[in-house]
Every structure is written in C-alpha cells, then in structure tokens.
Amino acid sequence: MSVLAPLAVSTYKRLGHLRATLAALARNERAHETELYVFSDAPRPGDEAEVAEVRRYLRTVEGFRRVEVWERPTNGRIANARGGLRSVLERHGRVVYLEEDVLTAPGFLTFVNQGLDTYRDRPDVFAICGYTAPIRLDWVSERDVYLLPRFSGWGIGLWADRFARVPARIADYEAVAADSGFQRRLARQGDDMPRMLADELAQRMDAWDVRAIYVMARDDLRVVAPTVSLTHNAGHDGTGVHCGTTDRYRTDLTLARTRFHMPRDLADDPWVIDALRRFRGDGARWAEAWDDRRVWTTLREVERDHVAAGDPGRLDRLAPALGKNLVVLLGAPGADGAPLACALAAHSEVHAMAAPWLGSLLGHVARVSQGDDPFRDVPGGPRTYLEALRDLAEGLHAKARALSGASRVLHWAPGSCRALPELAGVFPRAKLVFLLRNPLDVLAGLLRTRFAGDVDALGAERAWRQDLLEGPRLLMDGITALGEDAIVVHHESLAARPEATLRAVCARLGLDFEPAMLPRGPAEDADRWLTDLIDADAWVVARQYLQQLGPDLIARMGYDYRALGEALMSAKAMERVG
C-alpha cells in the first residue's frame, strides 16, 4: 500500500459526537500512520461557548501521525466542509473524509486506503464508501466488497479529480433527464432520490452527496463499499443536519471485517444492488431498525426474483441457520395445544423439548414494556443480547437434533405470543405454527379445568383475564405480520379432520405425513363448551367476553361472531328448559 491518504473530519459544536468519532478513528489499525485534519467551523450567535469547548478539546487529540486543526474565522457549514476538502485534495490528491458524527470500525482506514490504491485507475469508480445499509449482504454475497450505483457520504475516500466532477449546482438536468438510460439508473437508487433531487434542483437544499449521486447516475459510475458496514452515523439521534431521528440506518460495527480482498475487475452483483434498492425504496423510510426477520424476508424476495430469472439460490448456502430447523407452536393461554403438540412430536423427524431461552425472551419484553432498559450496559444494545440468545438456542437445538436423530426441534410456547415480534426477529427462518381455537371454548375449558367452574375465582385472576383478552389479538397480529409464512391451524379442524389437517401442516413444514401422528382414543365433544357455559354466571361472563373481543377480531380468527352469539342464546334457553 502507498503512503496513506490524509484523514479529514469536519466539526461544529457537538463535542460528545466528536470525541466518540475521533476515539473510534484512533482505534483504527493505521491511525498512527495517518495525518489528521480537522475543520472547525466558527460559531453562530449563541454557540460560542460550545465551539470554544470543541476547539480546546481538539488541541489535546492524540493517536495520529500528525494533527492539524483549521479554525474558520466565520461561520459556514458548507464552506467549512467543502473548502477544507478542496484544500486537502489540492495538497494530497486524495482524502479520507467524514463528519463529526460518523463512528468507524477498526478496519475503516485500511479499507478506504486499500480501495483508493486499488481502484484509482478505474474511471467508473467514483469513490470508496465505508457505509453499507444493515441488510446483511453477507447472506447473499461471499465478497468482502461490492460495487454500488449510489453514493453514501458517511465515511468516504475521494480522489481530487472525482471531487471536481460534482458541480456547485446542477445546470444540465433538462438535457440529462431526457435520456431514458439516466432515468433507469436513477430509479436504481431508491424511491427517496427523486424527492431529494427535486429539492436540490429547486435549491431548497444544498447537499453535495445528492449532487454526487446525480453525477453517478448521469455518468453511470459506481462506488466501492464493504459487504459489512465499517461506519455508523450516530447523527440520527436528531442532532444531525438532514438526518432526523431514526434507528433505520443503525449498523452493528462488531460485525465489521479488518481484511479485504479487492479484485481489480470487481463487477456489479445484481443481487446486492437489488437488495439495497429495496432497503432504500421501502416506503417507511424513517422507521424503526430492521430486525433479522425483515432482512430475511427482503433477501428471500430478492432470491425468488433472481432464481425465477435462472440464477442459483444463495441463502441456504450463505445465510446462518436463524432457526431454520425450529418449529414453534403458538397459541393463546388456555387454548390447550396438547393434541397438536403431541401429533407433531409423534413424527420421527421431530424432537419436542422445552425452551429455556423463551423465559429470557419474555423477560426482556416485559422489562422493555415497563420502560426499563435492560441493555444499558451491554455493548451493541438489544441486538447483542438477542443474538447471544439465538446462539444459545441454536447450540441447544443442534445438540438435540444430533442426539435424537430428528431434523426438527419443536417448542410448544403458549405464553410467548407476547414476544412474537422478538421471536420472529431472533429466529426469522423458524416455522411458526399458530393454533386458533373458538375463544368461548377456551374460556369454558379454563373455567372447567383451572377454576373448577368458579367464575369469581377467574375474575380475581387479573393475569388470566388479561391473557383471555390480549392473547387472540396478539396471535392475529403475529399472523398478519408473517403473512404467507404463518402456519395457521384451527383446533376444530384438527378434531374433526385430523389426517387432512396434519397432512397440510406437514406439507408446510417440509415433512412427509406419518400415520403415527393421528390421535388415539375417542374424539372430543365439539359442543362441550356450550354445556360448560349453561350456568348463569358463566353465561354472563361468556357473553361479556364475546362482546369485548368484538366481531372484527372474531372474524379475523376465522369464526362467526353472530353464530357464537346465537349458540350462547341457545345454551341459555337450554338452561331454562332444564
């Protein structure tokens, strides 16, 4: 590698962000070989004390080959950053640049300098970018780096001649926009680009990175970026210009690599470009962070499209297990999933076992719902915790499969409907089987088995009352969120048509049906719940419960609200006749 490119950081008044950024850079493997330039903007009225504090701190910075601080005498955010960059590029011909709120992994300087050396003479490469969206490209690509037709300014390497190609304002848009090729290239950037480009053209914003993306689309250029992000923009805490507040772009720098294979003949990977376009093109741009469930679903959509076009699949070969061999049976508390659980456990390829990690997951959800932050001292926050929990579970499951000879592990988890989003996020490839049961039948069963027909005892149990009301809604929300991936079984169908129902479940699980799964003994009385609810007090509770659930939720569950109400009225008439 040749002499390292100088490092430039622009800053204003966010001392906390600047400290974190420079500390992370100083931990880079090649920081001590790197000259650091810091562009310190002058204060606006009222910001004098904060800027003065920043400048006092900058005089103490160590860990680099040399530190040079440029203190602007007048305020100007754009002039501070671009003027500073222009001066450094005139001196050195290339630069590594980031703003005061961009955190870096230890391999960032290695990556950018290696990229500046490797692709200097490729005219189609515009820049080296350290940021990659958190969409786990390592699940679809074996490369360390890739080409992307969209620029990201969150930690970059630039050459002077590429920097000079970006105009102060876009003046050729009308001629360029008439080119259908330009429009196709712009569409690959994501659906947020037309809006930002319109703001730039109307001079409602002055964004160098938007103009850089425009130039890239106009001239069909690429940037080189890492498969796993080497930077994180901490300015999405609401303090950054043009950033807003969001966790959508949060990256996990603990996953970052420190060594990179960079082939000079690097070519486009349509899978990677498609995945990143979908991430940028999602309508809820300022939404919550994508969990692994959202990432997996999106990458699977990418795979389906490319396999349909004749490409071989990649996810099974490159992605981790993520619960691939796990089956979780979910039901509202009191729904009695034993018949279905026993049927599945009777399959020769299924090993049923307890799930000790579920208690930790439910405990996490309970603490967060109470406003507690259980991860305040955990580096990486909840993602670190949940991935560690997944590693624990995957180890247990692998042992269970190896010792039992089964290919699937089954958990019956009636209480985990409260943690469904987290469950799906931790194990995005797991098969989630939702057991639905007539809620009046569930109520009757609880009264009979747990409360010995004592309505007052049920009323005194706040937790059970809450489960009866929230359980069905949580299950239906989970089914809706999973869409076609949800495996839904109605208890009544299993009781009336066990073989057909179990065959359908096996097909969804990728298993062959086995006769040993069929229930033994007499069939249950489908109308017993009506008999249990004949008692006057029980009938009143059942009627109120049905009304609280409401016709919309009952219909979503696959039941007829009116028919259930009429059945209750018939039960009341039977009591009178009796």
What is the DSSP code string of 58-113? HTT--SSSEEEEEE-SS--HHIIIIIHHHHHHHHHSEEEEEETTEEE-TTHHHHHH
Which of 318, 344, 361 is the endpoint of a domain?
Answer: 318
Same domain, 136 and 213: yes
**Tokens at residue 222, please?**
């690429």
Same structural domain, 28 and 121: no
Domain membership flag for residue 290? yes
How do residues 424-481 score in pLDDT, each as one tens digit? Answer: 888 999 999 999 999 999 998 888 888 888 888 888 888 788 888 999 999 999 999 9
Together in a domain, 137 and 64:
no
**In this structure, are residues 18 and 54 in contact, taking their beta carbons and an 8 Å threshold?**
yes
> With contact defined as beta carbons under 8 Å apart, do 412 and 352 qualify?
yes
- The answer as to whether 549 is a domain residue is no
Do 345 and 402 lie in one domain? The reply is yes
Quick one: pLDDT at residue 273? 92
Confidence of residue 573 (pLDDT cuts 50, 70, 90): low
Q: Choose the final residue of a domain: 478, 507, 525.
A: 525
Average pLDDT over residues 15-20: 96
pLDDT at 448: 86
Provide mean pLDDT across the span 8-13. Answer: 96
Query: What separation in angstroms does the CA of 98 have from each of 27, 292, 571?
Result: 16, 28, 73
461 Cβ partners below 8 Å, 6+ apart?
451
Compare 253 and 240 and report the one with higher pLDDT: 253
SS3 state at 360: helix
Residues 340 and 448 in one domain: yes
Contact 431, 423 (CB under 8 A): no
Q: In this structure, are 111 and 195 located in the same domain?
A: yes
Same domain, 246 and 361: no
Pairing status of strand 156-159 against strand 94-99: antiparallel
Crossing angle of the two packed helices 356-369 and 382-404, in degrees rounded to 10: 160
Question: What is the average pLDDT value for the chain, to the nearest integer?
Answer: 90
**Nearest residue to 223 via CA among 134, 280, 154:** 154
Residue 297 or residue 245, greater confidence: 297
How confident is residue 144, by pLDDT bands cut at 50, 70 and 90? very high
Residue of 381 and 502 predicted with greater confidence: 502
The alpha-helical segments, DSSP class H, found in 159-243 are: 160-164, 173-177, 180-187, 193-201, 208-219
- Split into its structural domains, the chain has a count of 3
As a whole number of angstroms, the distance between CA 536 and CA 152 comes to 68
| 95-105 pLDDT per residue, tens | 999 999 999 99
- What CATH number did the domain enclosing 73 receive? 3.90.550.10
pLDDT tens-place string over residues 357-402: 887 777 777 676 666 777 667 766 677 778 888 898 999 999 999 9
In three-state secondary structure terms, 525 is coil
Span of 43-47, 562-566, 573-577 with lowest mean pLDDT:
573-577
Retrieve residue 440's tokens: 């009046």
pLDDT at 67: 97
CA separation for the pair 405, 526 (Å, rounded): 37
Say yes or no: 48 and 110 in one domain: no
Q: Reply yes or no on whether the pLDDT at 115 is more than 70.
A: yes
Question: Is the model's pLDDT at 242 over the cut of 60?
Answer: no
pLDDT at site 419: 83
Compute how many other C-beta atoms are within 10 angstroms of the C-beta atom of residue 346. 17
User: Which residues are bridge partners to 434 per DSSP?
Assistant: 330, 488
Residues 6+ apart with CB under 8 A from 286: 244, 245, 246, 248
Q: Are residues 448 and 364 in the same domain?
A: yes
Question: Is 81 a domain residue?
Answer: yes
- Asked if residue 12 is part of any domain, the answer here is yes
Nearest to 332 by CA among 113, 553, 535: 553
CA distances in angstroms from 172 to 136, 167, 202, 222, 481, listed in the order given? 37, 10, 14, 20, 45
| Exposed/middle/buried for residue 63 (C-beta within 10 Å: 0-12, 13-18, 19+) | middle
**Which residue type is seen at 59?**
R
Binning pLDDT at 50, 70 and 90, where does residue 174 land? very high
Closest to 331 (Cα-Cα) out of 409, 447, 446: 446
Task: Report the C-alpha gap between 21 and 63 in whole angstroms.
Answer: 13
AA identity, residue 142: E
Residue 194 predicted with pLDDT over 60 = yes
On whether both 248 and 345 belong to a single domain, the answer is no
Residue keyed to tokens 């970006």: 166
At which residue do the structure tokens 């469904």 appear? 420
How high is the pLDDT of residue 134? Answer: 92
Inside any domain, residue 461: yes
What is the per-residue pLDDT across 539-557, written as a single tens digit (0 to 9) for each?
Answer: 889 999 999 999 999 999 9
Percent of the chain surpassing pLDDT 90: 64
> Is residue 298 a contact partner of residue 279, using CB atoms and an 8 Å limit?
yes
Does a structural domain hold residue 561?
Answer: no
DSSP secondary structure code for residue 31 in this structure: G
Q: What pLDDT band is residue 574 in, cutting at 50, 70 and 90? A: low
Kindly report the length of the chain. Answer: 578
Q: How confident is the model at residue 172 (pLDDT cuts 50, 70, 90)?
A: very high
What is residue 498's predicted lDDT score, i.e. its pLDDT?
A: 96
Adjacency order of strands within the sheet including 7-11 = 66-71, 35-40, 7-11, 94-99, 156-159, 125-129, 222-226, 145-148
Q: Which is it for strands 222-226 and 125-129: parallel, antiparallel or unpaired?
A: parallel
Domain that holds residue 339: 326-525
Cβ-contact 502, 517 below 8 angstroms: yes
Of 273, 298, 318, the residue that ends a domain is: 318
Q: CATH number for the domain including 338?
A: 3.40.50.300
C-beta of residue 96 within 8 angstroms of C-beta of residue 8: yes
**What pLDDT is recorded for position 370?**
67
3-state secondary structure of 265: coil
SS3 state of residue 9: strand
Domain match, 408 and 306 both: no
In a domain, 300, yes or no: yes
- DSSP E strands, 284-363: 326-331, 350-352
Q: Which two tokens stand for residue 428?
A: 């995005």
Distance (Å, whole) CA 375 – CA 383: 9
Q: Which amino acid is residue 177, in one-letter code?
A: A
DSSP strand E in 405-561: where?
Answer: 408-412, 431-436, 487-490
> In the structure, what pLDDT confidence band is assigned to residue 282 with cuts at 50, 70 and 90?
low
How far CA 32 is from CA of 66, 355, 505, in Å, comes to: 8, 49, 60
Residue 413, both tokens: 């988890």
Closest Cα partner for 568 from 532, 526, 515?
532
Which region among 49-53, 107-111, 196-200, 568-572 has the lowest average model confidence (pLDDT)?
568-572
Cα three-residue angle 40-42-43, rounded to 5 degrees = 125
Answer yes or no: is pLDDT of 56 > 90.
Answer: yes
**Running DSSP on this structure, what letter comes out for residue 8?**
E
d(CA 167, CA 124): 18
125 & 96 share domain: no
Residue whose token pair is 């069909």: 220
pLDDT grade for 283, boundaries at 50, 70 and 90: low
Question: Over 60: is that where the pLDDT of 1 sits?
Answer: no
| Position 143 pLDDT exceeds 80 | yes
Q: Is position 211 within any domain?
A: yes
Going by C-alpha positions, the residue among 365, 372, 455, 483 that lies closest to residue 415 is: 365
